[in-house]
Structure 1
């Protein structure tokens, strides 16, 4: 049976790689993004459905949900590092804007989308949200938003797991092939991030895509309420 998959933030980076992985399984994939031209171009390249949608806008999310009859996999990949001013506290208005931006982009987009499509989920469905190693250390307002994503996911799992829906977070470490740093990552900083890993390599978007694909597979039906750290050992749990 063909699965229906929705990937928010699916027009680039991790979201695009996840959409491409599910499309390879002949799933009916919907991707969203805030820039119509980019969404349309990516959808055409991947052979999927593209919908221009700001996942932080309730009206746009509601309109998106109306296009879905049922949903097997939801991937909340919308988010990222805001280009707003620094959150060092020197300007309280700028500080507030930074926190609002990161909470909206990295937490509320997932909350709103999931709440909107919740009635489309059935037993066997999966909700997967993309977190970050920034939730564990030196993350500032961005890391705080990703940490909140994990806390929300645990609550969501408690609500949906009895209905047969799994809910998990993939906490990504440093991943090459994205525009996360907006072109501001120095060679020295990149070397440091790679050196922090145990396997001495950066992550790839395919590392995250393959993990997402597994979490939506029959082999992962007893995994729910979890944050899975995919970072090459840069942050470890026990």
Structure 2
């Protein structure tokens, strides 16, 4: 079983593939519920949330830096700066911003704070609740996955600025790998009785497809280790972004 996961306003949308293709889509309120449902049988769970955090530095994570270079000049801004660990666990933007500024020589943007609750939930889960899930749950960025499946070419249209052409552009990329995927996406979107956007579903699908045998072996960014970068101070969480070629 191969799972692609994207965060949404009501929790986590998870798209499930097996060796043959699409199987199911489900919505989970908490990441622990998702793991309880799939953890014992999943080969890979790819998730669009940062794994591996800084604690006292706003130095770019090597995987983020590598991803922005791959996605430039059109989609590099889709890779948000990742707050330090203490900041994502704060209860308000004001407190998180203060923590970020105390621990680093930078500040905290609103976009980064917008995903902080998902980062914090996954961080606590991997560090405290289910450390053995590390390696099965791996970080992936949908736009990097589209880049790889599209012949190392970033998508042209923005999901926020040009949602209609962006939707169909990404559908066309997915169809080059799985010709029936538009029907699967339609069924998945129709069955989800919650506030889940088209882009949430599409992103979860590209991650599931990337994890599945329908694409090649998983690759990881950065392609080379960054000299002198010690990574996540816990020593257990990798700073990487995985993707796959057709």
- TM-score normalised to structure 1 length: 0.34
TM-score (norm 2): 0.33
Structure of greater relative contact order (alpha carbons < 8 Å, 6+ residues apart): 2
